[in-house]
Each structure stands twice: as structure tokens, then as C-alpha cells.
Amino acid sequence: MNSDNASEDNASINILYFASLAESLGCECESFNLACEKVSVADLKQQLAARGEQWQRLINAPSTRCAVNQSLAEDEQVLASNDEVAFFPPVTGG
């Protein structure tokens, strides 16, 4: 899924979705263009949540965690071009 027209001027990031998120959102990974500078994890979540009810529910779930470049990230973290953002839910079975 590609949200905006790919443009060389825009910084793009890679987003990965894990486990039940990938399944429920029907998306395992995507390239995403950051529309402006200083986009934080919170801003990204807001943009993804705007895609629909399912996105809003899962991306904004308090239990959904986010990692940027394989490090656990909080909402305030600002994203840079070529960052790899991963969203993952807690998994509960055993």
C-alpha cells in the first residue's frame, strides 16, 4: 500500500506490521512518504489511523508497540528518511 505519490523530494520510510496486526490490516510492509519534516511516531500513527476504523483501532491500541530501526520507540520520536518503523502487538499464547 502506498499512501502518496512517490516523489524524490519526499523522505520515505519503511513500515512493517507484525503478527495479528499484519493479518487484521491486510498489510505486512509498505513504503510511506513523510509529507513534511519533523514527523514523529505520534504523527505517523495519526496518519495511519485516518485510513479507517480498523487502522484507527489497531494502531492506536495502547498495547500496540512501535520500534524504529529495531529499537523500541515512544510517540515523541522524530522519524528520518529511510527509517524502518515496525508496529507489533503483544502475543499472548503458549
Partner 1 sequence: MSDTIFSANEWLRYSRHIQLSSFGADGQIKLKQSRVLMIGSGGLGAPVSLYLAAAGVGHITLVDDDDVDLSNLQRQIIFSVEDIGKSKVFSAKKRLLGLNPEIEIDAINQYFSIELALKLGDNFDLVIDCTDNFSTRYLINDYCLKNRLPWIYASIHQYSGQCALFVPTNKHADNNESNACFRCVFPDAPEDAQDCNSAGVIGVLPGMLGLFQANEALKLLSGLPTPLKNHLMLFDAKHLTLQKITLKASTGCLCQKATINLEQSTAPQVTCASTTADNSLTPDRFNLRRDDDNTAVIDVRSISEHQGFHIGGTHIPLDQLGERADELSPTVTHLCYCQSGKRSEKAVKLLLEKGFKAENLDGGLANWLKHAKDNNQI
Residue 26 as a binder of partner 1 (CB under 8 A): the answer is no
Task: Provide, rounded to whole angstroms, the least separation between the CB of residue 37 and partner 1.
Answer: 26
Instruction: Tell me how far apart the 2 most distant CA atoms of the chain are, in Å.
Output: 46
Residue 93 as a binder of partner 1 (CB under 8 A): the answer is yes
Cβ neighbours around 15 below 10 Å, total? 20
Q: Closest CB to partner 1 among 67 and 80? A: 67
> Nearest to residue 31, comparing CAs of 68, 81, 67, 75?
81
Strand, coil or helix: 74: coil
Residue 27 as a binder of partner 1 (CB under 8 A): the answer is no
Residues of this chain that interact with partner 1 (CB under 8 A) are 16, 18-20, 23, 28, 61-63, 65, 67, 70-72, 86, 88-94
